[in-house]
Amino acid sequence: MTFLLIVAVFLLLNALQAVLIARFGLRGFSYRRAFSRAAVAEGESLQLAEVIRYRGWLFLPWVRLEMRVPPAIGFNTHEDIEIRGGNYHRSVFTLTPMTQVTRRHTVTMRHRGHYRLDRVSLTAGDLLGMRTVTDELSAAAEIYVYPRLLPEDRVALPSSRADGAVSVRRWIQPDPFLVNGIRGYMDGDPERDIHWAATARLGALQVRTHDYTTNPRLMVLINGQRSDGQWGDLMDYEQAQIEYAISYAASLCVYALRRGLEAGFAASMPLGEGDTCACLPPARGAGWEDALLRAFADLRIRMLRSFPTFLEQLPRLSDTDIVILSWYDSPDIQRQIALLRRLGNSVTMRLLTEVPPCGE
């Protein structure tokens, strides 16, 4: 009789608990998550922190948290997370009244991209699973994964711009470091330009004259077509080839900026869910490297138009070093290159032939 009484009391208490959880179980529950960094390079690891806060007064025997995470986000520790199909994550835990739990997971970003985590599904129930309550919560988090940069010796900058400014005939701005001669002093000449040795030798004030320069600019153009006439979705190995071209372009831009050049890129592919071709004109300055890398992360492998048409519709460029990255050449592409050169640009066509093994 005592055992049966204990069982009856247990079942009664569990039934009461089930009713209370079904009605009040998820009240006072909040969840948020965030990556430890706003952006990383492909292949790098970082922390994903989850903060679970419960301000309710009930004991929750089990709480199940379910979320979808892109397969590109690889969890390195699986102690408390069940992973199915690479992107379906489930974890179960217990919560006592008025508690807060912080969980940190080490994750590795396997692929370039811009990833957003949105909602999570939450389910709570009694000890015997008689009643459950489910809710969906917003838990936004995002991360930019920059393309992997290639070794600098594999992506040499165009020689005409890699070493600095380029002298031009028309007036743009005098360069104090480019001296092209000496002349007599004239009213208004700055004192810093006086050439004292020539003045002493000739017996009259002489000043240095300067050449004129334009800021060196690099524009990298990415062909989103794997072959001439190709349309539609790409096979996995073909996407890897376009990914290599994106890494190549990002490396060129980054190394150019670090040498003081202006840099930008364009591609016959969109940024994110956009429907126009990506185009970031050459620039430099604080934050521009990160802005370019974020755009490279957001670049989507989806061809919007053929590459010759893309070149034809490109915003007008002049006095720019242009590097074209493509897996094929064609007479139509060469015709557009000739037009770009007639506008005063230096154009280099770099035909890609193979994707090196990862890490080389």
| 3-state SS assignment for residue 126 | coil
| 3-state SS assignment for residue 22 | helix
Q: Which residues contact 84 (CB under 8 A, 6 or more apart)?
A: 90
Cα separation of 181 and 209, whole Å? 5
Q: Would you state the pLDDT for residue 137?
A: 87
More confident residue, 195 or 318: 318
User: Of the ranges 57-61, 215-219, 300-304, which one carries the lowest mean pLDDT score?
Assistant: 57-61
DSSP 3-state percent helix, strand, coil across the chain (nearest 5): 25, 40, 35
Would you give the DSSP letter of residue 287? T
Does residue 3 carry a pLDDT above 50?
yes
Q: Would you state the pLDDT for residue 170?
A: 36
User: Of the ranges 133-142, 165-174, 217-226, which one carries the lowest mean pLDDT score?
Assistant: 165-174
pLDDT, one tens digit per residue, over 53-80 is 888 777 778 788 888 889 899 888 655 5
Shortest CA distance to 242 belongs to which of 293, 303, 289, 295?
303
Specify the CATH superfamily of domain 152-164+215-351.
von Willebrand factor, type A domain (3.40.50.410)
Strand partners, 60: 95
Q: How confident is the model at residue 354 (pLDDT cuts 50, 70, 90)?
A: confident
Does residue 318 carry a pLDDT above 70?
yes
Cα separation of 126 and 219, whole Å? 62
Average pLDDT, the chain: 82
Q: Would you state the pLDDT for residue 171?
A: 34
**Domain ranges in the chain?**
27-146, 152-164+215-351, 172-214
Tell me the whole-structure pTM to 2 decimals: 0.77
Per DSSP bridges, beta strands 321-326 and 217-222 are parallel
Q: Would you state the pLDDT for residue 191?
A: 73
CATH of domain 27-146: 2.60.40.10
- Is the separation of the CB atoms in 31 and 140 below 8 Å? no
Quote the Cα angle for 338-341-347, to 5°. 95
Q: How confident is the model at residue 309 (pLDDT cuts 50, 70, 90)?
A: very high
More confident residue, 283 or 98: 283
Percent of the chain with pLDDT over 90: 42
More confident residue, 247 or 216: 247
Residue in this structure with the two tokens 């974020």, named with its chain if needed: 294
Cα separation of 29 and 139, whole Å? 13
Q: How confident is the model at residue 277 (pLDDT cuts 50, 70, 90)?
A: very high
| 3-state SS assignment for residue 87 | coil
Q: Would you state the pLDDT for residue 125?
A: 72
Q: Would you state the pLDDT for residue 28?
A: 79
